[in-house]
Structure 1
Amino acid sequence: MIGSEALRTPTRGGRAALPAGLVAFFDAVGGIAFLSGNALRTAIRRPPEWRLISEQLEQVGWRSLSIVNLTAVFTGMVLSLQLGSYLARFGAKMFVSRIVGVSLVREMGPVLTALMIGGRVGAGITAELGSMTVTDQVDAIRALGASPVRNLVVPRLLAVLLMLPVLTIIGDLVGVLGGLLIGVTELNLSAAFYVNSLLQVLLLEDVFSGLGKSVFFAYFIGAIACYEGLTVTGGADGVGRATTRTVVAASITVLVSDFFLTKLFMIAT
């Protein structure tokens, strides 16, 4: 059974002596791990209908495209403008494309895309599942013999896992184009020189590093959002609080995990 009772571990024994915030943190981590394991088993043994997955793919991917592109293009433009004006003092503005491109592909592209998806999609998943939880729709699904994990959690988690890497690639390309626009119009660099200079230093391992991060970010966002949605209590006010927790927790998790993933990929390469 997956619900607020099944996902929350009762406080007992020495846990009573721990700070309430620490207990809540470990409860959430344990609940997310339990939900993730259940979702993985369900996805392997009884995959959900493709219709449910395709609906979430559209919600996560297509409907997030505009905000991802908007964030990426202006990030690339700002980076190019700032770095270009600074490097021009040393006669090194020809290196702008290399710095902007590699920074976007390895770090800023995956992180900013994940933050946008965490804010938009993560909040939406929590609000949707939370509303279903407080109105007993999740219990009704269970009463009919269906699995809430199979029908609600797995499609959303798969959609985020599939679409965030795709959105990251698109965001990287749009960000590089934004930097190219500034390089041509403001820094007086030719488009051919800008692109060739970037391609000389950009490696496949840079691309795979960014994509690898996006997969981890996608899991964190989807798992946190689904857990918070299924453990909502307190009616409409509880849904609002859970949505806020999702955005905050997903954003912090993305930023903290980015450091450790960066260190891991640096060691691996």
Structure 2
Amino acid sequence: MRQESSTAYSRAQLARQVIPCIDVHDGVATDPSGIEGLADPLDVVGIATCYAQDGACQLFLDVIDPWTSVGYLPDLLRELSKSGLELLVSVQHGVLPSPAKCRELLSAGADALSVSTSMVEEPDRVADAVRLLGGRRLIGVVNCSGDRQRGWRTLIHGGATRTTADALAVARRFGELPVRALLANNVDREGTGIGYDLELTRAAARVSRLPVIASGGAGSPGQLAEALHGGDATHVLVNKVVHSGRETVGSLSESLYRHLRGEAG
């Protein structure tokens, strides 16, 4: 009985390291979910509830609408908070608005707001937000392109704008503030299924000294295991692999458990 309890706990812990992501536009998912049994495949609350039932403890909500068009968001966050998930929320590709608007979403149920574009364009605004809101209420996001040999260059505005800013320098600034965690995403790998950029996650963890969330390229449980135990990542972000219904958070945590025990290739 003790061994079974320990096994269950280990699988539950692994599930907590998997952070599903839902892309949102106008209050609904941008693409229909393939999760079985959903009454509405675009319903963000229904999708999130499935993730919570599978053992996830955090949800990354990527709201692509501009801040001027997210009047629906406080009510949506209040509904989502009933799932018990910690809500990590990005609006307008990581643009940070006024402290009042930030507090509105935090009061409605967001546990942390993500920052990416503003860290490059308005770093003083980000520093002020950390001072006023507390670093635990912010997640740093570094979207970048490149590799270790060429260097990683930061992208902002959802990848629409390439900058000359070194991604590791941006990661270091997030660590100096500090914020709650750092999401490291190589956009070159998004949607490819070839796996995370582990050189990026390791370097980002080293320079920022923050918990790192690996992002971009997830396609198999083995790649998740590599990021957690070879890429110095604390969590892994997954999107299409679970949104499509091909895998669940539960099946990923089960496969992770087997990989880490050496039972799967």
Q: Normalized against structure 2, the TM-score is what?
A: 0.24
- TM-score calculated relative to the size of structure 1: 0.24
Q: Which structure would you say has the larger Rg?
A: 1
Q: Which has the higher helix share?
A: 1
Name whichever structure is richer in strand by fraction.
2
